[in-house]
Chains A and B, each alone.
Chain A
Amino acid sequence: MLVCQNEYAYDANLPELSDEGIIVYNSQEFQIEHPRALALPTDDMAREAGNVRAGTIVMIGAVARAVGFSLEALETFITARWDRGRPGDATIIEGNIKALHLGATAADESGFEIAQVDPPIEESNARERILIRGYEAACLGAMAAGLDVFIGYPISPATTMLTYMETNLNGDDKFVGQASSEIESIAALIGAGFAGKKTMTSTAGPGLSLMGEGLGLAWMSEIPLVVADVQRGGPATGLPTKTEQSDFIMAMNPGHGDMSLPVIAPGNVEEAFWATAKAVNWSERYQGPVILLTEMSVAERAQDIERPDTSLISQESRAISDGSVENRRYEGKGVSPFPVPGGPGAYVANGSEHDEQGDTTHLADVHIQMTERRFAKLKTLNDGTFEAENSSASIAIMPWGGSKGSGRGAWQELTSEGIDIGWYYTMYLNPLPEELLSELRTKDKVLVPELNYMGQFAGHLRQLGVSAETINQYTGLPWRISDLKDAIKGHLG
């Protein structure tokens, strides 16, 4: 169904309309000749309803009737929305409800055969279902993992995470704050993580750019923290309200110098919960920064999912130093016990290269030892899981992040057409699960659908010795399954 208020919207979107589709349009704005178009003189209908501004409500009424959506539910919504304690509320509500029904009646009288919304899937023995947005799932995952501190700065499309935490992360030892910039957010997380807390922030590309140096400090001084990057189109201000997957390279290497940050990218709303819980756990386990790499189309999506069983999350916490001489902060080739201010084991958490107790040194031996130590800690993050199907095929597709859903749809359709193609998927982009990487290296071709110009993840896979080819789109919109399917076919040669 194509609903258009003006000719521009009609022209731009008509190619997407299927043969069975119908058009609902404002016939006082423009006229069209189409066998399946419902012309609504919305201005006149709104006036008839008693509220000249209710033209859009007329259309909503028509759409609701067309797809079998409850008018009663919409009436409840309208009443709640305009019951604001103002003198004219009752008149507006009455006019809007009348407009809703005028639209519905027009749809009834149109005589179009219209598809109905699919009934809900009934699953027996399943846990109850909830309606939740991606950012809410991410926040709840972090809370379930024991998050203490959240400090952020407003930025589209990541602000919703900050405001959700402001409302919902409460308790005696919890802290949520609004920083004065992303530079301040990341530095404050470092200060709070240093004080022994589990910390997180949310941002989008421009903010992640500003956090680059701070993330280097967290990596260098070994402070656990989580940064959720809700990707939008870039660079610079770019496309603040569109979706893209163009921050992968920056997520892994956000700052200068030798570092490789762990990256977890949820593919849908449900995964956002588990991915964020894992991000908090990973940050505590390896004592360093972890990037939760999500995107607008996942974070802002409302989806009904099975209610997560929070008992499945085991909270991990860094080992605390008892301050004994053996427990020097940066001793050894792996993770060391963490001294917490107020307790024993005073040291300097240092962003300059440092020796075992945190003192600055520029000696070659120490820089070698400490660089290797920081990378060795990544080896503790070896519990990433992955999906593999039809793994005997020599060609596979492996989408990441929010391209999972459409990638899966395209793969299913291709498979049902008899095309022999494998399916791989993981949330754990860095470090990649070792077993997955070994399997990918045996493939003739791994096709990577992703929403960026450079083919960022495919390039990373090639660097790891995988014959990866990118299938990319950079429209600011998610994939359409049909487009993706065609693109994959083009690569099968």
Chain B
Amino acid sequence: MAKRNPSYDFTWCPGCGDFGVKRAIERALTARASEKQEPIENSVIVAGIGCSGNLVHLQEGPQPFGIHGIHGRTLPIAYGTKSANPDLNVLVVSGDGDFLSIGGEHIAPQARRNLDITVVVMDNGIYGLTKGQASPTTDLQEITPTTKYGKLDDRMNPLMVYLGGGARFIVSELSTRIRPLQQAIEDAMDYPGFSIVHVQSPCTTYNDTYAALKGDEANGIKALAQPIADSHDPGDYFQALALAAQPGVPVGVLYKADDTVPAHDRLTQAKQEAGIASTDIEKLFDDMVI
């Protein structure tokens, strides 16, 4: 990975929310390596295409493995990596375009498997790398180069999509809250199942939502981002649904299912119960002898 690699010719715009997410991930990975006494090479970052995906090349400090694939396919790549070696810590980094638009079809299948991975979605509500086209989370009526009459498609509610798809651990966070974000990512990596940390990560060039998220209480402008109340029970699926359906951006742990058996344990248990023996090629041939 890039260690201040001079030939690497990409960076984010000043003020991009992704800087905060990068910092939180670096800290979370380093903390995990030291707490669990495992080499950082045991972690793999699977990156999507878009501004967010370039995070994999910008990691500073101890370097995990990375795979920077093709647009929209972070989850299936992670499915292969985690299934091939369940001992690896697999972290997906993606954006609202990569994850929710072109890659949207992959969310429910991996959630239903309860693939034991952590997804960090950097949601800036726009296609930044291709210069500002509408994404699923762009607001209704927003004017962009591809929505010249204002966006006609309703805004997607990603938290509802995750809940509906079967994700078991869902956190909604802000790129400006680096420490809580770091903690959320660490918790998600520890959680034995499919976890998503959905981060509002504003784009200062095409969709600057910093002010809207923060609000201006003195002048009567309510912040879009509201902390999830202590009374919310993240273990209650229906509470999570009700909260996700509210307008605005909840901040904190939306949902955390108590019952979770990750994909690889489901398989191991099923194989043990069925008493399946290892492949013996010669025996398979024996059964075919005429």
Binding site for B on A (CB under 8 A): 128-132, 136, 140, 143-144, 148-149, 151, 168-172, 174-175, 177, 179-181, 183-185, 187-197, 199, 213-214, 216-217, 221, 304, 307-308, 310, 339, 341-352, 355, 357-363, 366
Contacts and interface: CB of A to CB of B under 8 A. Distances in A.
A140 B290 contact: no
Contact of A169 (B8, B65, B68, B279): B279
A341 B44 contact: yes
The B interface is mostly helix, strand or loop, or mixed, namely mixed
Contacts of B85: 195-197, 341-342
B211 to A, nearest CB: 32
13 contacts: A151-B80, A168-B279, A170-B278, A187-B80, A189-B80, A195-B85, A217-B69, A308-B285, A355-B7, A359-B1, A359-B2, A359-B5, A366-B7
Given A191-B46, A213-B70, A358-B66, 10 more contacts: A149-B83, A168-B279, A174-B278, A187-B73, A188-B77, A195-B80, A216-B70, A345-B41, A348-B68, A349-B69
B284 A168 contact: yes
A190 B7 contact: no
B76 interface: yes
Contact of A195 (B7, B10, B64, B88): B88
A148 B43 CA distance: 21
A177 B69 contact: no
A359 B109 contact: no
Interface in B2-27: 2, 5, 7-10
B67 A183 contact: no
Contacts of A359: 1-2, 5, 7-8, 57
Contacts of A355: 5, 7-8
A207 B54 CA distance: 29
A349 B67 contact: yes
B231 to A, nearest CB: 37
Contacts of A347: 1, 65-66
B118 to A, nearest CB: 15
B279 A361 contact: no
A177 B60 CA distance: 35
Interface of B: 1-2, 5, 7-10, 39-42, 44, 46-47, 54, 56-57, 63-70, 73, 76-85, 87-88, 105-106, 109, 267, 271, 276-279, 281-282, 284-285, 288-290
Nearest to B278: A171
Nearest to B40: A346
Contacts of A351: 68-70
Given A148-B84, A149-B84, A195-B81, A343 B70 contact: no
A348 B10 CA distance: 15
A180 to B, nearest CB: 4
A171 B280 CA distance: 10
A130 B290 contact: yes
A361 B63 contact: no
Contacts of A183: 73, 76
Contact of A174 (B10, B279, B284): B279
A128 to B, nearest CB: 6
A339 B39 CA distance: 14
Contacts of A360: 8-10, 54, 57, 68
A459 to B, nearest CB: 29
B70 A217 contact: yes
Given A188-B80, A342-B85, A304 B5 contact: no
A363 B7 contact: yes
Contacts of B76: 179, 183-185, 187-188, 191
Nearest to A139: B284
B284 A191 contact: no
Contacts of B66: 346-349, 358
A222 B47 CA distance: 17
Contacts of B8: 355, 359-361
Interface centre among B40, B64, B76, B87 (most CB of A within 10 A): B76
The A interface is mostly helix, strand or loop, or mixed, namely mixed
A89 B93 CA distance: 58
A151 B78 CA distance: 13
A310 B286 CA distance: 13
Given A128-B289, A359-B7, A190 B69 contact: yes
A170 B277 contact: yes
A225 to B, nearest CB: 9
Contacts of A221: 67, 69
B285 A130 contact: yes
A242 to B, nearest CB: 27
A194 B41 contact: no
Interface centre among A177, A216, A339 (most CB of B within 10 A): A177
A341 B73 contact: no
Interface centre among B109, B277, B284 (most CB of A within 10 A): B284
Contact of B9 (A184, A193, A196, A362): A362
A341 B282 contact: no
B129 to A, nearest CB: 12
A192 B85 CA distance: 8
A341 B65 contact: yes
B111 to A, nearest CB: 11
A310 B281 contact: yes
Nearest to A225: B80
A127 to B, nearest CB: 10
A307 B287 CA distance: 11
Nearest to B63: A346
A195 B7 CA distance: 27
Closest 3 CB pairs of A and B: A191-B80, A188-B80, A187-B76
A182 B271 CA distance: 25
B79 A194 contact: no
A162 to B, nearest CB: 15
A339 B41 CA distance: 10
B42 A342 contact: yes
A130 B289 contact: yes
Nearest to B88: A341
B5 A357 contact: yes
A307 B279 CA distance: 17
B78 A191 contact: yes
B84 A191 contact: yes
Given A351-B69, A358-B66, A360-B68, A344 B41 contact: yes
Nearest to A130: B288
Given A346-B41, A360-B57, A191 B285 contact: no
B88 A342 contact: yes
A151 B5 CA distance: 36
Contact of B64 (A151, A193, A346): A346
B64 A143 contact: no
B97 to A, nearest CB: 16
Contacts of B267: 175
A192 B290 contact: no
A481 to B, nearest CB: 26
Contacts of B40: 346
